[in-house]
Amino acid sequence: MTKLNKKLYIESIKGLHPADQADKLESLPTNDQSSILKTHTKYFHPDFIAYLREENRDLILEMIPNKQLVRLIQYLDLDDAVEILSDFETQELVNILSKLGTQQRERIEESLKYEENSAGRLMNRDYLAVKSDTTVGGLIDNLRKTRRGPKDFYNVFIVDNNNIPIGYVPSGRILRSKRSRKLKDLMFKNIHLIRYDNSIEDIAYSFRQYGLVSAPVVNDDNKMIGIMTVDDVVEIDHEESEDDMRKLGGLFVNDFYKGTITSAYSRFIWLGLNLLTAILASYVIDIYADQLQQMIAIAVLMPIVASMGGNAGTQAMTIYVRAIATKDINNSNYMSLIIKEFLIGSLNGLALSLIMGMITYYWFDSANLALAISFAILVNLGFACLVGIIIPITINKLKIDPALASGIILTTFTDVFGFLSFLSIATYILNL
C-alpha cells in the first residue's frame, strides 16, 4: 500500500469546500485518517466535521485531539454542534461542554433536552425577530451596530409583545424598501409555524408543501424559540431518502466505509431473516412433493409465479413507502388506493397470464398446465399489489418504519402465496 504523502495531501485540501474536505478524508484508510487528524487538523475548515457521514463521524471524531475538537465545535453553528454532540457518551459530553463558552454551552444543553429528530433538537437558535412597528432603516442600523443575531438570514420574523410570530418579511423586500417603511406594512401574514416536537418527516413535508425558505419553531404557548431553514431541511430529506433506500434493500447502515467483518455482520441479520422466510416457502413446496415428482413441468414453472408476484408487490410497496413519507396517504383516499392497486395488479395479471399461458402451452403441450399457470399469475399479481400497499400502511400505523419492515414481510407473503396458489391450482386442474 502506498504511504500517504501528508504534505501533498494537505496542499490538495486547502481551499476546498468543507464538504469536499470531509469526502477526501473519508476516502482515506483509517490509519491515514488518524495520522492526518492528530497533527494536521488546523488545515481543515472547522465545518468539515458537520459534513462527515453519520456512520463515520464517531470514529473520525475520536481521532481528533480533544483540544482541537473543542476548537472545531466552538466554531460550528448551534444546530450542527448539537447534532454532533448528541452522539457523545455522557462523560465525554460533559467534558466537551465544560470547555465551551457559557452562552454556547447553555444553548447546547437546552437543545439537547428535546427529543432526538424533533424540531426542538434540530432548530437553529440564531434568528432575527422584531416588532411590527420597526422601520426598515431602524432594522438596518441596528444590524450594523450589533454583532448579535445570525450572520445570514432569509427572512425577518415579526413577533408580537408575547414573542408569538405573526408574520415575516423576506430580506430582499427589506433591501428594496424605503427606510421609513414599517415592517408591518411589508410583512406576509400567512406564516407556517413548526412545533418544537414535530418530527423530521413533518418538517420536510411542511417545507415541500408550502415552498418554505425558513419557518419559526414555537413552544406549547406558540412563542418563538428558533427557526428551521431550507438548507437544513434539504439535508434532512436527503438523509431520510437514503435511509429508506437502505432499509428497502435490507441494510440497517451504509457499510460502504465499514470493514469486511462489520459489513458482513450487518448484512447477515437481514439475510438470516430472509432464510427463515425461504424455509417457510420451501415447506409449502414440500407439501406438494408428490405432485412435483409426477410432473417436473410444475417445478420448472413455479419460480415464474413467485418472481412475478414479488416484483409486482415490490413496485407497489416502493411507491407507497414513499407516499407515506410525503403524507400523500390519508383516511380519505386509503380505500380508493387499495382498490386502485388491486385493479392494477389484476390488469397486469390478466395480460401476463395470457402471455404465459400461450408460452406454457407451446412449451409443454398441455392445455391444463397452461390454464393452471395463467390462473395462478392472475391471482398472484392481484394479491401481490394488494399486500404491496396494505403492508407498509399497516406497519406505519403500528409506529414501525415501513421502509425497514415492509420488504421482508412482502417477500414472505408473495413467495408463500405464489407457490401455494400455483401448486394448489395445478394439483386441482391436473387431477380433473
**Which CATH architecture group holds 6-113?**
Alpha Horseshoe (1.25)
Per-domain boundaries in the chain: 6-113, 129-229, 260-430
Taking every pair of Cα atoms in the chain, the longest distance, rounded to a whole number of angstroms, is 94
pLDDT at 279: 66
For residue 347, give the C-alpha cell.
390488469
Options 3.40.630.30, 3.10.20.30, 3.10.580.10, 3.40.91.10; CATH of 129-229: 3.10.580.10
3-class SS of residue 366:
coil
**pLDDT for the residue numbered 1:** 43
Q: How many helices (H) and strands (E) does the chain have?
A: 19, 6
What is the helix (H) or strand (E) element at residue 227, kind and residue range? strand 224-229
3-state SS class at 130:
strand
pLDDT tens per residue across span 50-109: 888 877 788 888 888 888 888 888 888 888 888 888 878 777 888 888 888 888 888 888
Please give the Cα distance from 431 to 420 (Å, whole number). 16
288-298 burial, b if ≥16 CB within 10 A, otherwise e?
A: beebbeebebb
**pLDDT value for 193:** 95
Query: d(Cα 201, Cα 207) in Å, to the nearest integer?
Result: 10
Q: Give the CA dihedral 29, 33, 36, 40, nearest 10 degrees.
A: 150
Domains 6-113 and 129-229 share a fold: no
Over the stretch 349-378, which tens digit does the pLDDT of each residue have?
899 999 999 999 998 888 988 999 899 999
- Quote the CA–CA distance of 254 and 259 in Å, as a whole number: 11
The DSSP output letter for 177 is: S
CATH of domain 260-430: 1.10.357.20
Cut 0.75: pTM above it: no
pLDDT in tens, the chain (432 residues): 467 788 888 889 988 999 999 999 988 888 888 889 988 888 899 899 988 887 778 888 888 888 888 888 888 888 888 888 887 877 788 888 888 888 888 888 888 889 888 899 889 888 899 999 999 999 999 888 887 777 788 899 999 999 999 999 999 999 999 999 999 999 999 999 999 999 888 888 888 888 899 999 999 999 999 999 888 787 776 666 666 665 555 555 555 555 566 656 665 565 566 657 666 766 777 777 776 665 778 888 888 888 888 888 888 888 888 788 777 787 778 888 889 989 998 999 899 999 999 999 998 888 988 999 899 999 998 998 898 888 888 888 887 777 666 777 787 788 888 888 888 888 888 776
The pLDDT value given to residue 310 = 83
Identity (one letter) of the amino acid at 385?
A: C
Helix then strand then coil, % of the chain, to nearest 5: 65, 5, 25
